[in-house]
Amino acid sequence: MVEKAGCYSNSPEETAAAAFVECGDISKEDLLVWCIKQGKNEEFVSELYSQALSDPKYALLVTDESEPMEHEEEKELEVG
């Protein structure tokens, strides 16, 4: 949805994560409004995204999608 709006300077994932950091539990409609209002503010979005990277409750939003979470869990099981 954020991507369709084209209202961001950073990636749509970074912009959405930043919205969640600032607003907490947010509806789809409020997410879109936030992204339209704040999405072009690259420095602000980057700052909030950095906070998301260091906050475990946003881990699923900001994980590296190049390696799915299931594979990480399998590796942990093999090691442990």
* Domains in the chain: boundaries: 2-79
Report residue 15 as tokens: 């912009």
With beta carbons less than 8 A apart as the criterion, state whether 13 and 46 touch: no
Say if residue 9's pLDDT is above 50: yes
9 versus 46: which is more confidently predicted?
A: 46
HSE-CB for 8 with a 13 A CA cutoff: 23
* 1, 28 contact by CB (below 8 A): yes
pLDDT tens-place string over residues 29-65:
998 899 888 888 899 999 999 999 888 888 777 766 5
pTM of the model: 0.64
**Tokens in use for 18?**
């930043």
Of residues 20 and 2, more confidently modeled: 20
Query: What radius of gyration, in Å, describes the C-alpha atoms of the chain?
Result: 14
User: 70 pLDDT band (50/70/90 cuts)?
Assistant: very low
